[in-house]
Amino acid sequence: MEFLSDYGLFLLKAITVVIAILFVVGGVVAVGARNRKPGSEGELSVRKLNDELEDDREQLEDAILSKDELKALDKDKKKEDKARLKAEKKRSKDGLESREVRKRVFVMDFDGDIQASAVDTFRREITAVLTMARPDDEVVVRLESGGGMVHSYGLAASQLKRIRDKGIALTVCVDRVAASGGYMMACIANRIVAAPFAIIGSIGVVAQLPNFSRLLKKHDVDYELFTAGEYKRTVTMFGHNSMKAKDKFQSDLEDTHDLFKAHVKQFRPRIEIEKVATGDIWYGQQAIENKLIDEVGTSDDYIVAACDRADVFGVRYEHRKTLQEKLGISLQKGIESAFTRILTVLSRQQQSKG
């Protein structure tokens, strides 16, 4: 028992040190971000995912197939290329377009925190895509978010609506979670695809804050609040909250919830909104039964299938990182990786004891 006690104390100290280091590293990265000069923020990175998929396939073929099989495969590919060139020549001779215009699919990622911070780069990616996208193209957004601030996610949702307003098909793929503000974004899509155990829903509004008024009163500390306008401030963390203030705050939450429900109903009219707008969450298969999504599947399957019928491009706006930021991020990743390994080992030990 003494060993376990010492080990537990050591683990708590280690976790405290790790958290302190992460805090310092985060500060270094934040300082580097603030010092970034305007006009040198970053650039748009575009990758053709068809080519990456083909490269992966060819590497597997080289590793798995025999020389005779590779030779036969190469022969078949040459036949296909020859037939395609012949068809293009015939079309050109007949006065038709020499090459069929292929549909294009643009893939973007949105990984949302409580402030929806990713919207700053997301809006630039969408703006860039909209300058090139044709009406028969498609935009796919791989979305991961448990929600956060209403106004921040409202702006992020508005960015997706820009795509819909241009008449371009929008698909949102959810592999882990699209809840609350995340679902506020996802519901705008023409089609929502979610993994079997992805968390969907949480159509509700929550707010909470501590109140220190009794503690301040106990220590003879007065808290004075001055406002102009009856509802400039309703509830507060430091003063006494009257029932009228609480009722007003609750009324504001209800109004926000009503707006949220109307938003979802506008883009998902088949949903029984009062049934699902309880703040509850559902997993993928349950979500499709409640018409919150359209299909159960992963983003990987959807994008691989898209590569068979279209030219698929991954679009990402990347900030140029200073040396200070690069060092900070590398250190942070190393510490996080070590911390994750420690937790994994502890989890396995607990499982083995069971």
303 CB neighbour count, 10 Å cutoff: 19
Residue 125: which of 105, 113, 109, 103 has the closest Cα? 109
Q: pLDDT tens for residues 60-85?
A: 988 998 888 888 888 888 887 777 77
Asked if residue 101 has pLDDT above 90, the reply is no
Lowest mean pLDDT segment, chosen from 6-15, 60-69, 167-176: 6-15
What pLDDT sits at residue 15?
Answer: 65
pLDDT computed for residue 351 by the predictor: 46
User: 125-162 in b/e burial notation, b at 16+ Cβ within 10 A?
Assistant: bbebbeeebeeebbbbbbbbbbbbebebbbebbebbeb
Q: How confident is the model at residue 354 (pLDDT cuts 50, 70, 90)?
A: very low
Judged against a pLDDT cut of 90, whether residue 317 lies above it is answered with: yes
User: Is residue 120 helix, strand or coil?
Assistant: helix
Average pLDDT over the chain reads 85
pTM metric for this prediction: 0.76
The one catalytic residue in 37, 93, 218, 232 is 232
Q: Which residues contact 50 (CB under 8 A, 6 or more apart)?
A: 307, 311, 312
What's the token pair of residue 160?
């997706």
For 296, list phi and psi in degrees, rounded to 5. -100, 125
**Out of 145, 180, 202, 299, which one is annotated catalytic?**
180
Looking at residue 227, what is its pLDDT?
Answer: 84
Question: Cα angle vertex 281, ends 278, 286, to 5°?
Answer: 110
More confident residue, 347 or 319: 319
State the Cα–Cα distance between residues 51 and 35, nearest whole angstrom: 37
Strands, DSSP E only, in the chain? 42-48, 104-112, 138-145, 169-174, 177-179, 191-194, 199-201, 281-283, 295-296, 311-319
Higher-confidence residue of 70 and 101: namely 70
* One-letter amino acid for residue 69 of the chain: E
| Helix-then-strand count for the chain, H and E | 12, 10
Q: Is 299 a catalytic residue?
A: no
In this prediction, residue 343 has a pLDDT band, given cuts at 50, 70 and 90, of: low
Pairing of strands 281-283, 199-201: antiparallel
180: annotated active-site residue: yes
pLDDT tens-digit readout, 175-227: 999 999 999 999 999 999 999 999 999 999 998 889 888 898 889 898 888 88
